[in-house]
Amino acid sequence: MPVCLPSNRCSSSSSPTWMEELVDEIVAHAEDKVLEQDIAHWREDLRQRLAQVQQHPEQGLGFIEEHIRQATLRLQCLLVQKAMQDKANQAEEKCPDCGRPLGAKKRRVVRWVDAYCGPVKLARTHGWCPHCEHWVFPADRLLGLRPDSTASPLVQEMCALLVSKMPAEQAEALALRVTGRRLSRSTLAREAQRQGDQALGVRQQLVEAPVVAPTAQASAGRDQASEPFTLVIQIDAWNIRERDHWGRTKQQRRKDPKFDRWHWVYTATCFRLSHRCKKGRFKNKLRPIITERSYVATRGGLDALRQQIYYEARVRGLAQAERVLVLADGAVWIWNLVEDRFKKADQRLDLWHANAYLWAVANELHGKGSKEARQWVKPLLKQVRNDQVAQVITRLEELQPHLAKAAAKAASEAIEYYQDNQKRMKYKEGRQRHEPVGSGAIESTCRQLQCRLKRCGQFWSTRGDEALLCLEMFWRNDRWEMLFPHAKLTALTNN
């Protein structure tokens, strides 16, 4: 089976004779005549391949597996082609959009489909819908084929999944080894973009629709639906470099002095406190994990974040939660958003950020990494941990007039930060309630996303990064099957 599709994939540009022959061949497949011969041919090919392995003592199970995989790809292509054609033949000659009969039909037209096992051919009719005023192939819709792409739904999914996890160059090499066939990096990138664009539309519909009550949501945990619970929300942001208006930075800056290549990716997570536990093989090395959680990451600005995190929180049971706790650093936009959307939530400043301000003073006073700095900061950190931030502020205020310039600056920044966030610094209370005192869960998510989207030399278009982030969120939020319904089958078979 050739691995590359013929360049002349679109039937409209092919000669009628070529087309008719092809149609006959495909119809013969559908009627099983050729298929039986093909199966016999495949069996012989496989027999020869396996005989070859027997003759080579150095070829182990890996060779057997690889031969069977390669030989079976061809058979799979034949089976896919036949089943696809059978399905296409059943397509009603009606407009899939309005259901009216199609006019001006209907020469059989061939298209190549890039299936996971290789290229396959499909013959189907098309017609004109006078109501919708478009030419349409009902069979293509029935099969889930896009008019603008040759990729089959499984290839569409593979591209989306691979490129949302790694750059297309890596995905190309990986796809070859994992699937046994070549998907070019341009196909991978193009198809992932298409799927990402589609995912953006699905997400928009989702966040605008009413939320299903958590009792009906398996992911929310049926067993806990009626018990009181705390909902934890963590919010953070990181930036990404974009290449829109590439090479025209100066012109753009003249138009808009605030023009910047770096843009914020707003990120959030939300989970029930009871879904946070510690796991590990050794008692003294337990790692906190969250068994069920929702994610948001968007390049679409604060309004998009607000809408999406509000949606995810409702899915996790915002309306039923006994207590809602938001954890984040001191960024003003975060707390404005919380006041707006989660007014009744308790707010907590991430302890690590709180500590960092004291460390900055200590380092200026005694030198970075010095024993004296550690000694100076230790009792103050303890006071912060024990909700005595007022004392810390007083101490810094007393100290400030006697400090050198840099240390005084660090001290005044710390005072301002603590004054702004004092009501959010209840760490003792947090520990007593067995709640997180830091926003580590969201920070580790940010780091993971940065590993994919913030590599050296990477630039993104606004459209490109948002589409990939959207795919990644569908994957993480366990909604992949909304985009690729066939994925359910794998889940079912492996359960």
Residues that bind Zn ion (CB under 5 A): 95, 97-98, 129, 131-132
Which burial class, exposed, middle or buried, applies to 332 when counting CB atoms under 10 A from its CB (0-12, 13-18, 19+)? exposed
Nearer to Zn ion, 43 or 131 (CB): 131
Nearer to Zn ion, 95 or 122 (CB): 95
Q: Tell me the closest approach of the beta carbon of residue 97 to Zn ion, in angstroms.
A: 4
Task: Return phi, psi of residue 5, to 5°.
Answer: -75, 150
Q: Tell me the closest approach of the beta carbon of residue 223 to Zn ion, in angstroms.
A: 48
CB 481 within 8 A of CB 219: no
CB 395 within 8 A of CB 373: no
- Rounded (5°) CA angle 157-160-163: 140
CA distance 314 to 324: 11
- Rounded (5°) CA angle 81-87-91: 135
Nearer to Zn ion, 135 or 459 (CB): 135
Nearer to Zn ion, 131 or 368 (CB): 131
In angstroms, the Cα distances linking 390 to 383, 386, 394, 421, 437 are 9, 11, 6, 11, 18
CA distance 355 to 337: 24
| Strands 230-241 and 127-129, bridge-based pairing | unpaired
Nearer to Zn ion, 120 or 136 (CB): 136
Nearer to Zn ion, 147 or 301 (CB): 147
Q: Tell me the closest approach of the beta carbon of residue 439 to Zn ion, in angstroms.
A: 51
CA distance 211 to 450: 30
Nearer to Zn ion, 96 or 180 (CB): 96
Q: Tell me the closest approach of the beta carbon of residue 145 to Zn ion, in angstroms.
A: 18
Nearer to Zn ion, 131 or 374 (CB): 131
Which burial class, exposed, middle or buried, applies to 324 when counting CB atoms under 10 A from its CB (0-12, 13-18, 19+)? buried
Nearer to Zn ion, 91 or 482 (CB): 91
Q: Tell me the closest approach of the beta carbon of residue 125 to Zn ion, in angstroms.
A: 15
Task: Return phi, psi of residue 393, to 5°.
Answer: -60, -45
The token pair that represents 267 in the structure block = 């990120």
Q: Tell me the closest approach of the beta carbon of residue 110 to Zn ion, in angstroms.
A: 24
Q: Tell me the closest approach of the beta carbon of residue 142 to Zn ion, in angstroms.
A: 15
Q: Tell me the closest approach of the beta carbon of residue 198 to Zn ion, in angstroms.
A: 21
Give the dihedral of Cα atoms 414, 417, 422, 424; nearest 10 deg: -120
CA distance 359 to 297: 30
Strand partners, 349: 328
Q: Tell me the closest approach of the beta carbon of residue 93 to Zn ion, in angstroms.
A: 12
